[in-house]
Structure 1
Amino acid sequence: MSRQFFVGGNWKMNGTTASNEALIETLNGAEIPEDVDVVVAPPAIYLESVRKALSPRIAVSAQNCYHAQSGAFTGELAPAMLADLGITWTLQGHSERREYFHESSEFVAKKTKFAIEHGIKVIACIGEKLAEREDGTTFDVCAAQLAPIAEALSAEQWADVVIAYEPVWAIGTGKVATPDQAQEVHAYIRAWLAENVSAEVAEATRIIYGGSVNGKNCNELAGQPDIDGFLVGGASLKPEFVNIIAARA
């Protein structure tokens, strides 16, 4: 089957009202191919203003979302709050959340399930650190991060998941997995889904690559059979993001 290309832009903890307006102007003026889904994830404080100003052609995502609809959870966001603002996606399990905020794979799975159950789609992030890449345990790490999600979700709920493979050693470092390296891991993830969820889910689920993707390397990466798009960090704050969106055009 043909999987719809998917490009996400994770703005992380960056941006001001002025810089956001300039970026939105660029995005609203861009010709986005019809066969590409585009999602941007601004900081929580800007979710509402970005959604109001951005073309409906581009979806907006939170960078994180909690597993409760309300309550005494200072600093957190509930799926209902996101839906109230027209936010349709959330990231879960980004390596920076795992590393700096000590989120376990089980916790990520719990939040993923809750978000989907309450109408928010999920970009679920997985990936290995440099030491794990060097000692040959990349596949083991990815499987261990995926397993709790697979255990938590029904086969039907996978329709609301995009998997983002982001090798930690390539995020913001300028180092990029070669197309062959990225394709190898994406193919493994798809095979893992076939074995542990179903062949249908494996074929339908979009697996996107993240890690220093830019306007120069995106086309070659996009040409790989199991790379269904990108989760872009720093380059999503620049005009070249438009070129990345069109990488498979």
Structure 2
Amino acid sequence: MKNLLFIILFIGFHAIGAQKLSDYKYLLVPQNFKDFQDNQFELNSALVKKLKAKGYEVIQNENGILPEELKQDPCQAAVVNLVKSGNIFKTKLTFEAKDCNNKVLFSQQGASDEKDFEMGYNEALQNILKSIPNSLPLFKTSDVKVIFVEKTEPVVVKPLEKIEPSSIVEQKAEEKTSINNSQNYMNGNVNLKKILLGNNRFILVSANSSIPYATFTESTKEGVYRVVLENGLMTLGYLENGNYVIEITNKDGSFRKVIFEKN
């Protein structure tokens, strides 16, 4: 008897309990902060330069292209932001770093008495940078590969036994449970299997490929996921009527839905 089995190979190590900014290797720094567009006052470039000096690998790819480590696990990166927090009497700036679940890992405010905005914000940033710790990452390289193999089991002939009616009922119940736990999803002719990875993550993978079609990581909103596709692009996915929906960006910037129906 041949059964199709899958084997999940984890190469390297995942992060263990990353709870502070210094645990991270990668920082996602947007090219345009909401409060400071187009590198206003050169805050963006000054911040990136200092973070690199502290050992962080800064990612600023707005097109979603990521290193291999982040393709498999987006939670290996913290997201950075600079926010205006002053008033007419004092120039203030707040630095925030959050994890993939939007939890604040590090927050620090800097202030300046300078009335000139450019000088004031840069002085506030320099005060903040003194408090940012060096990178001492817990994260190591991690890849996920799924290998499907055929397992041949010997056929054992057993003596005939008397089967009680209750045993037949129990056996049918077990078979029904097994069917109900099936984790197969389809989109047209594409048939994918859902495989749980732990740490609020799962993948959809084809039996014909060792690379996941999509890796899902739970967000802070129930039923909504951060998704990394097999080509490395990041997008959103969500659960709708028991099916998984992935938003794909078209060339014109609009979105289309790709639906994987449970079967």
TM-score tier after normalising by the smaller chain length? under 0.3
Structure ranking higher in helix proportion: 1
User: Rg bigger for which structure?
Assistant: 2
Q: Normalization by structure 1: what TM-score?
A: 0.25
